[in-house]
Amino acid sequence: MTIMTVDATRRAQNVSACSFDVFDTFLLRACTTPDGVFEGVFQRCCIAEKFPKMSASFVQHRIQAEARARKVSQERCGSTEVRIADIYKYFPFRLFGLTRDALHDLAQIEFETELELCRVNPEMLEQYLDMKRGGFRVGFISDTYWSTDQLAQLLRSCSPGLSWDFLYASCDHGSSKSEALFEAYLAEQGIDAASSFHVGDNHTADIKGARRHGIRPRYYPQAGAALASKFQRETSIFELLCPDQPSRLDCGARTLRRAVTAKSAEPAPAFDLGVTVLGPVMAAFDAFISARRSALAREGARVAVGFLGRDGLLPHRVWQANHGETGAYIEINRRVSLVGSADTLEPLCELLGRVVKIDAATFIDIVKVQPPAVMKFFAQYPDGIASGRELADALPDLMDPREITDIAAGVRTRLLTYLRAHIRDFDGCTDLILVDLGYSASVQKSLRRIFDREGIRIRLHGAYLLTLDDAFDGISDDDTAEGLISDRVVTPHVKRMLIRNVALLEQLCCSREGSARDYRSGEVLREGDQRPAAQLALATEVQSGTLAYVSRARELAPRYGLQPDAAPAVAARWTAAVLGRLLLLPDDDELALLGGIKHDVNLGTPALAPLLDADFVNDSIIARGLMTACTAPAPPMWLAGSFAALSPSHAYLYTLFGANRLPASVFGEALCGTLQVGLFERNGQASLEAISVYHTGLGDLRLRIPLSRRMAIATIVLPLAKLTRDGMLHGITVQYGESAAKAAEGSNVTAIAEGRLIDVGLERRGRHFRATSDDGMLLIPVDGFEDDVAIYTVALTALDHDRILAVADRDGNGAASATLTWRSARGMPTTNNNS
């Protein structure tokens, strides 16, 4: 027989096969990442009782033990393959109060944890069975420290009755898929590589490894690059917002998100945002509301559920998708409910005090009357526009309290008619759950006062996504209020940061109609909606994606054996992380998609406030420093997004500040010397003034030049070359006030246009400048101003110096030295650059 005949006979005997990777392909784990198994081991063993806060340490030591075991195996055997017992040999037992006798116990607990967390992937199981029915030999090839017998037990535990033609565990063969495991599989099984497939999630081991041996690979990634990046940021946010909490065990919520996303086509960006981010948040919120209703029903209550318009629309749509027509969408806002509950002027004053600007027409629309004294009040102001705070302070002297009681009685009558028309069996229910995004239960409190005045005994229960829990002490003893993301989940500092940026969420959840202003014959009367049509269409698309997620998650969760809401506390923490990631660390695609959204003030005014304003944040950092910019009042409404528009690092620094992790001593500013600048007056006279120079925690320089109106300065001459011959000019701003302190504290910052600056002995290109001589300077024009003081601030980075250290020399009064001294961080001799 010839060699060619032998080869032909062998090819005829070869068969086609389909092999599957095991972990994260055929089997999925109900945790955020594979090392969630290690976190599960910690929770299951006795260590958690002795050292409850050492979960992260345990996980990291388990990872390090595996790395050491693989390194030793490589040195001794030429392969990194190890078994589970080999790994635990390098675990620091004593650190966790254990002896080495615990090695086999920990290995067994880890295997039991795998059994608990692993689920069969129904999509892969269908492919597996299809290939089997198609005549292919089917089986598994896995890079793992679990033996073949252990793999078999795992597979049959997740899919009882499952059978296979082959099963390869890398640790039993001393070689991985990236090495010789595929080669051994092909040889031992007599597989025809060219007509066979391998399915896996690891691009290096599964795809490149299979392709190198002629096997056709099928890539099954756990998540695309964009979603994987969101997951990484979410984990970072989780660890910041919920420190000392297990960050890997989420009851399968992330696994479900991956499954839902994998079922989605390539959707529009807004739809995708709903599927990948807002959908999981709203699904968890819906489960929270449902649990509250079930708890009340078990107590024998007759419960109605009402979703407060306008931004309660999306939670209501999710509720309808999951529970049918068992909840009402009721359009009640803070303004209407406060007026309806008033028996004094105090609630109205409280409301008006929150309004930035208000005119007579808006006031009339709120209270439905036009007292002559109030009209005279508005007439005193330019264009008839006053601040809400000024009106609130003056109102007790402008209106008779009896006027507001008559107005309130009318509003109550019309509001109750509306509620009876829209809440089924309103008068027969004992308890009403009010659902809203949050935050301080103002509508709930007002509605309680309305019910009490009208003799209505219905108990009220607030169910909120986010809560300011310190505002709940004033709630009636028979009523309740609870938030999914409460102060039991994150700290009050974190909560206020989230709520400071929540306007984005409000707009995405909101209805397309204007806010309620009154009621007539059981129907709502609305204000006009000033928001652009494109913005409304964007929100509608996001809501559609949210509903698509909810529908698919409801279908897939039981198929995958996942219960993301099984542990309410865990669900709440991860909801905070998912929402917090969007609000605090948006990616560039999200900024481009959402940055143009406007926020309507929703207090009877047609004003639209910008959601995003990177220039405002940049100017605030220049004028007031990073720490102060982090506390800037609205607008912009989305402060974190405005930081993110500068850079991801800026957004992360802002998040650290909100989590109380940004120490002022590191990221504040420190005096590092003084510099003389020239001041040219309008009459032609000139003088030199010493100004303070500071360095920031990011290594930049900041110079503040205070001017009084009496000085009549026309131009500031800044000798930039005395600071640095080569640098980056970040910008120049000016603030005004009745004193230097008032000006420095003010949030109204004006940037000096780059085109107005005059170069003398400087070359500037964009922000970069280079001095052509030691006398290079920048001339800054000074406009006339009405306030007493103006403060000009210059921010720059020196590119030709080492890090500049703070001034160490101080006089007896603690004042800094009057000489600008550059102090090298490398210990070089100091040099006076001000000579």
Long-range contacts of 804-809 (CB under 8 A, 24+ apart): 804/672, 804/695, 804/699, 804/701, 805/672, 805/695, 806/670, 806/671, 806/672, 806/695, 807/670, 807/671, 807/672, 807/673
- Both tokens assigned to 645: 């528009």
- The pLDDT of 202-228, averaged and rounded, is 92
> At which residue do the structure tokens 């120049």 appear?
732
pLDDT digits (tens, 9 = 90+) for 584-635: 999 999 999 999 999 986 554 567 889 999 999 999 999 999 999 999 988 8
- The pLDDT of 523-540, averaged and rounded, is 93
Q: Residues 515, 526: contact at Cβ < 8 Å?
A: yes
Give, in degrees to the nearest 5, the angle at Cα 535 between 529 and 539: 100
- Looking at the predicted structure, is the pLDDT value of residue 346 above 80? yes
Exposed/middle/buried for 711, CB within 10 Å: 0-12, 13-18, 19+? middle
Per-residue confidence band for 809, with pLDDT thresholds at 50, 70 and 90: very low
Bridge-based pairing state of the strands 357-359 and 328-330: unpaired
Closest CA to 507 of 617, 594, 443: 594
DSSP string over 276-318:
IIIHHHHHHHHHHHHHHHHHHHHTT--EEEEEETTTTHHHHHH
Write the secondary structure of 472-541 as one string of H (helix), E (strand) and C (coil). Answer: CCCCCCCCEEEEEECCCCCCHHHHHHHHHCCHHHHHHHCCCCCCEEEEECCEEEECCCCCCHHHHHHHHH
- Residue 230, by phi and psi: left (phi above 0), alpha (psi -120 to 50) or beta? alpha
Whole-Å CA distances, 538 to 268, 533, 598:
10, 9, 12
- Looking at the predicted structure, is the pLDDT value of residue 3 above 50? no
Q: What is the pLDDT of residue 520?
A: 95
- Looking at the predicted structure, is the pLDDT value of residue 68 above 90? yes
Q: How far apart are CA 647 and CA 651, in angstroms?
A: 7
Helix, strand, coil percentages, rounded to 5, for the chain: 45, 20, 35
Q: How far apart are CA 211 and CA 202, in angstroms?
A: 13
Q: How far apart are CA 246 and CA 700, in angstroms?
A: 38
Exposed/middle/buried for 321, CB within 10 Å: 0-12, 13-18, 19+? middle
Output b/e per residue, 393-423; b: 16+ Cβ within 10 A.
Answer: ebbeeebeeeebeebbeebbebbbebbeebb
pLDDT digits (tens, 9 = 90+) for 715-730: 999 999 999 999 999 9
Q: How far apart are CA 776 and CA 545, in angstroms?
A: 57
- Looking at the predicted structure, is the pLDDT value of residue 484 above 70? yes
The CATH 3.40.50.1000 portion of the chain extends over 15-221
The residue ranking higher by pLDDT, 267 or 742, is 742
Q: What is the pLDDT of residue 456?
A: 97
pLDDT digits (tens, 9 = 90+) for 634-680: 889 999 999 999 999 999 999 999 999 999 888 999 998 899 999 99
Give, in degrees to the nearest 5, the angle at Cα 207 between 204 and 209: 70
Closest CA to 667 of 643, 696, 693: 696
Distance of CA 223 to the CA centre of its chain: 19
For residue 94, how many other CB atoms are within 10 A of its CB?
A: 9
> At which residue do the structure tokens 């959840």 appear?
509
Q: Which residues pair with 674 in a beta bridge?
A: 692
Per-residue confidence band for 820, with pLDDT thresholds at 50, 70 and 90: very low
Q: How far apart are CA 194 and CA 348, in angstroms?
A: 79
Closest CA to 190 of 9, 4, 15: 15
Q: How far apart are CA 356 and CA 631, in angstroms?
A: 18
- Residue 368, by phi and psi: left (phi above 0), alpha (psi -120 to 50) or beta? left
142 phi and psi angles, rounded to 5 deg: -135, 135
Q: Which of 339-343, 367-371, 448-452, 773-777 has the lowest mean pLDDT?
A: 367-371
Q: What is the pLDDT of residue 186?
A: 96
730 phi and psi angles, rounded to 5 deg: -80, -25
Q: Residues 40, 113: contact at Cβ < 8 Å?
A: yes
Closest CA to 116 of 21, 36, 202, 220: 36
Q: What is the pLDDT of residue 311?
A: 93
- The pLDDT of 465-476, averaged and rounded, is 93
Helix (H, G, I), strand (E, B) or coil at 673: strand
Q: What is the pLDDT of residue 828?
A: 32
Whole-Å CA distances, 162 to 30, 197, 219:
21, 19, 23
Q: What is the pLDDT of residue 13?
A: 47
Q: What is the pLDDT of residue 124?
A: 96
Task: Give the H/E segment covering residue 600.
Answer: strand 598-600
Per-residue confidence band for 804, with pLDDT thresholds at 50, 70 and 90: low
Exposed/middle/buried for 11, CB within 10 Å: 0-12, 13-18, 19+? exposed
- Both tokens assigned to 62: 């388990």
- Looking at the predicted structure, is the pLDDT value of residue 401 above 90? no
Per-residue confidence band for 118, with pLDDT thresholds at 50, 70 and 90: very high
pLDDT digits (tens, 9 = 90+) for 10-67: 443 457 999 999 999 999 999 999 999 999 999 999 898 899 999 999 999 999 999 9
pLDDT digits (tens, 9 = 90+) for 299-308: 889 999 999 9
**In terms of DSSP H, where are the helices of 385-441?**
388-394, 401-422
Q: Residues 714, 781: contact at Cβ < 8 Å?
A: yes
> At which residue do the structure tokens 């020239």 appear?
678
Give, in degrees to the nearest 5, the angle at Cα 83 between 79 and 85: 135
Q: What is the pLDDT of residue 256?
A: 96
pTM of this prediction exceeds 0.85: yes
Helix (H, G, I), strand (E, B) or coil at 463: strand
Per-residue confidence band for 327, with pLDDT thresholds at 50, 70 and 90: very high
- Looking at the predicted structure, is the pLDDT value of residue 835 above 70? no
Average pLDDT, the chain: 91
CATH code: domain 15-221 is 3.40.50.1000
- Looking at the predicted structure, is the pLDDT value of residue 367 above 80? no
pLDDT digits (tens, 9 = 90+) for 439-462: 999 999 999 999 999 999 999 999
DSSP for residue 169: E
Whole-Å CA distances, 675 to 566, 691, 744, 793:
63, 5, 19, 13
- Looking at the predicted structure, is the pLDDT value of residue 770 above 70? yes
Q: What is the pLDDT of residue 72?
A: 97
Q: What is the pLDDT of residue 808?
A: 52
> At which residue do the structure tokens 């006076």 appear?
832
Q: What is the pLDDT of residue 454?
A: 96
Q: Residues 292, 572: contact at Cβ < 8 Å?
A: no
Q: What is the pLDDT of residue 314?
A: 98
- Looking at the predicted structure, is the pLDDT value of residue 821 above 60? no
